[in-house]
A and B are shown apart, each in its own frame.
Chain A
Amino acid sequence: MIAIVDYDVGNLKNVYTALGDVGLEGIITRDKKVLDQAEAIILPGVGAFSDAMENLRKFDLIDTLNANVKKGKILLGICLGMQLLFDKSYEDGEFSGLSYIPGEIVKFTAPNIKIPHMGWNNLIINRESPLVKNIGTEDYVYFVHSYYANPVDFNDVIAYAEYSVKVPGIVQRGNVIGMQFHPEKSSTVGLQLLKNFKEILS
């Protein structure tokens, strides 16, 4: 059973449905006992970084997340949920994140690009991992974000997309994984990535 963390950051049903596509049973919850018992935890999220952190605090979920990450449980952050895994974000201020992966969330600054980075972009593999099994450079995923992760160690990046800079698409440090794009909205490529995620759980 995969716990999808419910902390009032938009609709989580799409993630739940996509897990079902690959034969994973999800449960949308903010119950700490359920999170502790889950096989893995997914931290989704859309909206603003500071609001999301505030909600994690409000529902008293940070200690539970920390404890589960510490004992080696796999945590997958999606979109804003991935950004929360880093040390801090400069979205409308300066806010602390969960600090599972060293690095910061910064705004796109290049002139002549449209912001948000919105639409389908291809993934370029930075390092081999079971997470990108059967994923090639012609495989596109759906991004929508105005800030991107700038990790201290680029070796934490498994795959990135080019958009004025190398935009980390999939990151991993130990048992903590992040996807900046929406696998649940990325058609067959998204399904392959969720299948890969399922395989690393077993």
Chain B
Amino acid sequence: MLTKRIIPCLDVDHGRVVKGKKFQNIQDVANPVELGRYYSEQGADELVFYDITATYEDRDIFINIVEKVAEAIRIPFTIGGGISKVEDFRKVLMAGADKVSVNSAAVMKPQLIKEAALKFGAQCVVLSIDAKKNNHGSWDVYVKGGRENTGIDAIEWAQRGQNLGAGEICINSIDSDGVKKGFDLELNKKLSDLLTIPIIASGGAGKMQDFADVLKVGADAALAASVFHYKEILISDLKNYLHNEKIPVRRV
């Protein structure tokens, strides 16, 4: 039986893993390769590395880390952050990444999804969406690290992304991110019901039950950062908990 996935996310800046709360107040945590290996041994199903470095020179440091991660771990991993053209996809895939996550650049140029899917296969194109609830009961797509509202409807954008060839949608709820009050169940349920590609829920994990809740409404995977980095939740404990909740998971 296909299992639900637990995905630790590592934000990388200048070669180190950091974690922001509501995208601000970023603090240093650890070495990405070591942390990646640790999570892999704990039973993480995939890893996501987001490059949050701002400058072009630092991109090379990041590519070097992608190569080191690929050498050190034997589970799939996704690279995101700063991906704006097909050439960026090629660079990180050739460095050993399995998937590439694209966010703001795809909003500006939706054809990027199609081009990348045709060139490298839909399976490696993850459309990442930062969504925030508006006053009308729907969700808007935000770009530039959650700073700018595009006014685009998040659900329509997810559907369009699927039609353009994305293999997966990662939906990050800005309202929930970093506040540890649970994932946005309503948004995740709507997307899971509507789309035929897998959904990764992101933003809001605080306790083990939060994971069970979002996986039960239909998300195929749940992504989190700080609860894992600060060892508030061990992935092995989480897998046992989810198993007891009758959610299919892979336990190591």
Contacts and interface: CB of A to CB of B under 8 A. Distances in A.
Nearest to B199: A114
Interface residues of B, number: 35
B94 A118 contact: no
Nearest to B41: A187
**A interface SS class:** mixed
B124 A46 contact: yes
A187 B40 contact: yes
Contact of B2 (A11, A14, A117, A185): A117
A146 interface: yes
A115 B122 CA distance: 10
B120 A118 contact: no
B121 A120 contact: no
B120 A162 contact: no
10 closest A-B pairs by beta carbon, nearest first, are A47-B121, A140-B250, A120-B250, A144-B123, A114-B198, A121-B2, A185-B76, A120-B3, A46-B121, A118-B198
Given A118-B123, A120-B3, A121-B2, 18 more contacts: A10-B121, A11-B97, A13-B96, A17-B70, A18-B74, A46-B121, A47-B121, A48-B118, A114-B197, A119-B198, A121-B3, A122-B1, A142-B75, A143-B2, A146-B122, A184-B74, A185-B98, A188-B74
20 contacts: A13-B96, A17-B70, A21-B74, A47-B120, A116-B198, A118-B123, A118-B198, A119-B5, A119-B45, A119-B198, A119-B221, A120-B3, A142-B75, A146-B123, A182-B76, A184-B74, A185-B75, A185-B76, A186-B75, A191-B74
